[in-house]
Structure 1
């Protein structure tokens, strides 16, 4: 097990909460960027582990977000310690910020960065930021000086921004840092990369593949059906990540789940700029895998 971890902090997350966490053999860590299929993968793991489409508790209780500052760490640790089923734990921390343990499986979901950025933009409008600040002990956010830009304009700004990836993990540099770190570990037997578009195109096949890699029984049709976007959206009250009441609308969390929406918002020049920036931030083989569904 490695103790040399990179620390990632934001207003509502701190990866230091992983330090010293007592893993169990077989634990599953779900490490994703925001709006890249986190809740989807949590649901898939819940179905594969618990073997029923009728989950015994809300998904956030079954699969806690360990490094979210909204809930005290001792409460999260106690809930995980009390679980008797195989545990599957959520994080938005890259794998270099999570302890590496050969007994543990690490699942990283990759989504086309432009699609994730579009979803993140819409998610921003659905967050109760006053409530979030209250829960994390932060000052109340000021009223915005200007209205939110249209999604297409915001996407162009996101492509052009160049923050430190460690400081802004949901930026383009941050997304590709997270995926690049996982890509470099992909040959390790307990690190599993899953492409969001593969889940969309062949959910049953991808669930069977993941079950095999995790040493679990393959899913039946009822479990696959329960993991579809339509079924999950219909059960947003129990599946949306909103145990603390920070979403204005739980149904809006499951907005569309489509792919290709980011590229469709850009003209040819902006798409070329995106690809040029991505090429400077990630290796060609990762980008070929990440972008392979582009027309």
Structure 2
């Protein structure tokens, strides 16, 4: 068993649940930060694996979140062991926190961090706080939410150890910096959210090639259409990641955030601060790819 450098924990997840995971040939591990396209990539993998928009079970059943503490680890392992199809497993853990097995393929989805932060803010407003408190044992937040622009400013400035909290600017770039350093490995694929938005069909074909999955040409139009946000929103009851009943509105989970909206909301001074912080947290080639700077 390869050594795992880091352990990541939060009130509802623990990357140590990966320790001892029995991989199978062809396993796909989807490693993303929150609101970077996790469910989107799970759906794409489901469509490629099954070859039809008619999935045999809810998406969270087919592709469980292995780190999540809301279900006993042994139950998740048993469910995955019983799956006869090619498995595709969700995690929000960076690749340095899970076993890297040559039999598996690892997909990391990236998004402009400011657009991610906007989506995190909207997602926070769609959570059932009382239900979250029941699941985590922590009191529900009191008082009004911080307005979006102020929340973005705080998100840019916040300092926190990524091993304690990953849904931050530091945590996002920590996750992507590690994946970027592994991008030349044959079983690691980085996908940009904007590329999925701009050319969903082309990106799905490229992923099928990386996974070694052959799709009959006549099936492609319906598979690509099934992976669009409008179609996924119409099937929110089966596709939204809401095992614990924490979403106030499942359809609202599939909010199609526009790329560039985070930058448009910030003033020049805050944007300059963001650029300085990211320059200190990630290499220039990663930032150029992430920010679409040419």
TM-score, normalised relative to structure 2? 0.96
| Alignment-derived partner of residue 270 in structure 1 | 270
Say what the alpha-carbon RMSD is for the aligned residues: 1.3
**Given the alignment of the two structures, is residue 152 of structure 1 paired with residue 119 of structure 2, yes or no?**
no
Q: Note if contact 1:168-1:174 (Cα within 8 Å) is conserved in structure 2.
A: yes
Q: Quick one: distance in 2 between partners of 1:143 and 1:277?
A: 29
Q: Deviations over 1:25-67 (max 9, x none)?
A: 1000000000000000000000000000011111000000000
Q: Counterpart of 2:10 in 1: which secondary structure?
A: coil
| Alignment-derived partner of residue 137 in structure 2 | 139
| Runs of 4 or more above 6 Å deviation | none
Q: Note if contact 2:43-2:59 (Cα within 8 Å) is conserved in structure 1.
A: yes
| Alignment-derived partner of residue 210 in structure 2 | 213
| Alignment-derived partner of residue 18 in structure 1 | 18
Q: Note if contact 2:4-2:98 (Cα within 8 Å) is conserved in structure 1.
A: no
Q: Quick one: distance in 2 between partners of 1:36 and 1:76?
A: 24
Q: Quick one: distance in 2 between partners of 1:270 and 1:83?
A: 48
TM-score, normalised relative to structure 1? 0.96
Q: Note if contact 1:229-1:257 (Cα within 8 Å) is conserved in structure 2.
A: no
| Deviation for aligned residue 1:143 | 4.2
| Alignment-derived partner of residue 45 in structure 1 | 45
Worse overlay, 99-108 or 238-247: 238-247
| Alignment-derived partner of residue 197 in structure 1 | 194
Q: Counterpart of 1:85 in 2: which secondary structure?
A: coil
Q: Quick one: distance in 2 between partners of 1:147 and 1:71?
A: 31
Worse overlay, 217-226 or 77-86: 217-226
Structure 1: tracts of 5 or more residues without a match: none
Q: Deviations over 1:228-249 (max 9, x none)?
A: 1111111111110012211111
Q: Counterpart of 1:107 in 2: which secondary structure?
A: strand
**Given the alignment of the two structures, is residue 166 of structure 1 paired with residue 163 of structure 2, yes or no?**
yes
Q: Quick one: distance in 2 between partners of 1:90 and 1:133?
A: 23
Q: Quick one: distance in 1 between partners of 2:73 and 2:126?
A: 25
Q: Note if contact 2:130-2:140 (Cα within 8 Å) is conserved in structure 1.
A: no
Cα distance 1:293–1:38, how it changes in 2: closer, same or farther (>3 A)? farther
Q: Counterpart of 1:220 in 2: which secondary structure?
A: helix
| Alignment-derived partner of residue 176 in structure 1 | 173
Q: Note if contact 1:134-1:140 (Cα within 8 Å) is conserved in structure 2.
A: yes
Q: Note if contact 2:240-2:253 (Cα within 8 Å) is conserved in structure 1.
A: yes
